[in-house]
Structures are given as structure tokens and as C-alpha cells.
Structure 1
Amino acid sequence: MIEWRPDVPRWKQVAEVIRGRIADGTYPPRTRVPSVMQLVDEFSVAQATAQKVHQGLRDDGLIYTEPG
């Protein structure tokens, strides 16, 4: 479980956890990262927060999305 820091937005904290998992090989290249709904369940955040996590990771070039 994550210990929330009040000075950092939650989406950034969740994104940092996912970045760490990508870096340590938990999510190797070309594998799926948790979906928005999986992030909602795992981190007990709002769906909008989880969507912002995905957007931030996409913006940083760490993940990409495919239709379908």
C-alpha cells in the first residue's frame, strides 16, 4: 500500500510507483501495465486520477495505447 504524501498530487505518486515497476522489470517492454480500473482497485483512487496516471506515463513515452 502507498503512504500518501499531502504535498504531491496522488496521480503523480501512483505514476511514480508504476515508473518504478517499469524500471525494475515488473512490467517488461511490450507487456501490459495495469488498466485504469486496476489502478482504481489497487490504489483506491478515483477513475479520473487513474486516467491521469496513464496520460502522464504516455506523455513521458513510457507507455502507449492501442485501440481495441
Structure 2
Amino acid sequence: MEFDPSRPKWKQVAAIVRQRMDDGTYPPGTQIPSVLKLQEEFGIAVATSQKVHRGLRAEGLIYTEPGMGSFVSRDLPMQRDEGSGGL
């Protein structure tokens, strides 16, 4: 994947994950890719993948179950600003 150098990579990846939530690829209650899976899929650093997860959690879009993974929130916020990125 080619990233836009004018925007942080984590925000670009978070936007892709948000889009997948919107289009039903990741419906509410389903598990999203782990930090390591995002790293592999997008060719980003682990720290960048962790920022993606933190940002989506801060927006209320995902929650984490210790030892289980991260899941799409069942009650997604009504309006999301794709550019906000949470952090």
C-alpha cells in the first residue's frame, strides 16, 4: 500500500478499518485484525498498528477483551469524522 506522506500512516489505516466497518466487512460484534495482522497487511510498524487500535478505541468504535482481541462496538457512534483519528 502506498501512503499519503502528508498524513500519519496510523490515521490512514484507521480510516480503512472505519470504512470496512461502514461497508459491513467488520459488522458490530466481530473481531478486527490484531495489531500484528494490521502490521502484516499494511507493512507498518507494530507501534503504528498499536496507534490504530488506540485511536479506534478512543473513538468508541472498538473495544478490547483481554486475551480475546479487539471487536467492533455493538453501539457505534452515530456520526464519525473520518479525519479526527481519535488521538
Bin of the TM-score, shorter chain as denominator length = over 0.9
Matched residues, percent identical?
61
**Structure 1 segments of 4+ aligned residues over 6 angstroms from their partners:** none
**Post-superposition CA distance 1:4-44 (Å, at most 9, x none):** 10110000000000000001000011000000000000000
TM-score by length of 2: 0.75
**Runs of at least 5 residues in structure 1 that lack an aligned partner in the other structure:** none
* Count of aligned positions: 67
Question: Alpha carbon RMSD of aligned pairs, Å?
Answer: 0.6
Shift of 1:3: 2.5
Higher helix share: 1
**Runs of at least 5 residues in structure 2 that lack an aligned partner in the other structure:** 68-87
TM-score by length of 1: 0.95
Determine whether 1:26 maps to 2:34. Answer: no
Looking at structure 2, the residues matched to 62 and 23 of structure 1 have their Cα atoms a distance apart, in angstroms, of 11
Higher strand share: 2
